[in-house]
Amino acid sequence: MAEKAKSDLYKAAGVDIDFAISLLDKVKGKFAQSRRPEMLSPIGGFGGLFQIDLSKYKNPVMVSSIDGVGTKLMIAMMMEKFDTVGHDIVNHCIDDIAVQGAEPVYFMDYIGIGKLRSPLYEQVLNGIADACIAANCAVLGGETAEMPGMYGNDFDLVGVITGIVEKDKIITGEKIRPGHVAIGLGSSGLHTNGFSLARKIVFEECKYTVNTYLDELGETVGEALLKPHTCYWSAIKRAMNEGVSLDGIAHITGGGLYDNVPRILPADVDVYFDVKDMPIPPIFKVLVEKGKVDAVEAYRVFNMGIGMVWFVPKQEAEKALAICRECGFTANVVGEIAQGSKQVHVK
């Protein structure tokens, strides 16, 4: 008779291996739905195996990125709702590599938690799986670290994404010249940045709770703050396939327009943003008004309703706008390029 493995002392110390295995078993079926034919091993191995289909690419370049959800997790814990943060981490990571033209092919997650609990664990992982399935991105593996001595009742969520792009199709921004226009793609809200300031304003200064309903929001504070990060890959993929000159793309994360756009600008151009034609989600109006946030700081801390910016030649703007809108995104021309020194101007 095989000896039954025991972990009673470890469980008493705060780590329940059997419980972790039982929770993981609940989500393996959803993970399986994200499989791509390039995957050579099931979830649960020491390393995930992914074979590049060399018949599909001529000169493939791997593109990788890593990021976290940040203190938005605190909102999820306040609301006891955890599926949307799974979408957040996947979509943020996809957008980070999509701006270079890379197709997301596999994703891996890390959950560090004080005490593993249900339904938190299943909701997070199911959210990750659903977001990956929507983007045709395989969940290749992950790690859950139960560390009661480090995290207490809190948890952290990190994602690593890998994509592939043909070398001659990498989007770098080096082709951006005067005559290009900036197209803003609408955000769903804060996405995954600016939450430290947002929490200070709504919870400390305004004394709201996540359940406070505000007429100007049309929903509760928690619902507005927890809206998941938008994934823009579908529009980027279609624009590339249809030959739009996507000469530069900026993902508007922490640092807003002021810090993210210069990451792709050539040294001899400036961009002038006129954001009046881009709708601002109500949550930003609440934060700016209640927190008395200066306009410059608002557009540096928050995305203010613009989750991504495309730079295209002016003559291709209408085609690019049509693609964005047909893919379900709000999109408008929000700026133009001029000679300069890599500066961002917002009015």
- Tell me if 3 is assigned to some domain: no
Average pLDDT, the chain: 94
- Tell me if 49 is assigned to some domain: no
Give pLDDT tens digits for 131-151. 999 999 999 999 999 999 899
| Same domain membership, residue 137 and residue 14 | yes
Instruction: Please give the Cα distance from 110 to 117 (Å, whole number).
Output: 16
Is the pLDDT confidence value at 7 over 80?
Answer: no
> Could you tell me which residues come within 8 angstroms of residue 218 by beta carbon, excluding any fewer than 6 positions away?
282
Which of 169, 190, 212 is the last residue in one of the domains?
A: 169
The CA radius of gyration of the chain, in Å to the nearest whole number, is 22
Query: Based on the number of CB atoms within 10 Å of its own CB, is 335 exposed (0-12), middle (13-18) or buried (19 or more)?
Result: buried
Give pLDDT tens digits for 234-284. 999 999 999 999 999 999 999 999 999 999 999 999 999 999 889 999 999
| Same domain membership, residue 276 and residue 154 | no
| Same domain membership, residue 90 and residue 22 | yes
Which of 110, 141, 169 is the last residue in one of the domains?
A: 169
pLDDT of residue 1: 42
| Same domain membership, residue 231 and residue 259 | yes
- Tell me if 318 is assigned to some domain: yes
pLDDT of residue 162: 98
| Same domain membership, residue 124 and residue 250 | no
| Same domain membership, residue 305 and residue 204 | yes
Residue 249's alpha-carbon distances to 71, 222, 277, in angstroms, are 26, 30, 19
Residue from 281, 283, 186, 233 nearest 91 by CA = 233
CATH number at residue 128: 3.30.1330.10
- Tell me if 51 is assigned to some domain: no
Beta bridge partners of 139: 107
| Same domain membership, residue 304 and residue 200 | yes
Beta bridge partners of 80: none
Give pLDDT tens digits for 284-308. 999 999 999 999 999 999 999 999 9
**Residue 253 in contact with residue 92, Cβ under 8 Å?**
yes
What's the structural domain count of the chain? 2
* Residue 217 belongs to domain spanning: 180-346
| Same domain membership, residue 200 and residue 137 | no
| Same domain membership, residue 165 and residue 138 | yes
| Same domain membership, residue 260 and residue 282 | yes
**Residue 248 in contact with residue 264, Cβ under 8 Å?**
yes
Give pLDDT tens digits for 14-40. 788 888 888 888 888 888 889 999 999
- Tell me if 39 is assigned to some domain: yes
Q: Encoding tokens for residue 178?
A: 């005067």
Which of 114, 137, 169 is the last residue in one of the domains?
A: 169
User: What number is the average pLDDT over the span 148-158?
Assistant: 93
Residue from 204, 211, 188, 209 nearest 283 by CA = 188
| Same domain membership, residue 69 and residue 124 | yes
The 10 Å CB-count burial string (b at 16+, else e) for 169-196 is: eebebeebeeebbbbbbbbbbbbbbbbe
pLDDT of residue 4: 62
- Tell me if 175 is assigned to some domain: no
Is the pLDDT confidence value at 2 over 60?
Answer: no
User: What number is the average pLDDT over the span 331-338?
Assistant: 97
Give pLDDT tens digits for 190-243. 999 999 999 999 999 999 999 999 999 999 999 999 999 999 999 999 999 999
DSSP string, 102-134: PEEEEEEEEEEESS--TTHHHHHHHHHHHHHHH
CATH number at residue 281: 3.90.650.10
Is the pLDDT confidence value at 63 over 50?
Answer: yes
- Tell me if 52 is assigned to some domain: no
| Same domain membership, residue 334 and residue 309 | yes
User: What number is the average pLDDT over the span 104-126?
Assistant: 95
Is the pLDDT confidence value at 6 over 80?
Answer: no
- Tell me if 99 is assigned to some domain: yes
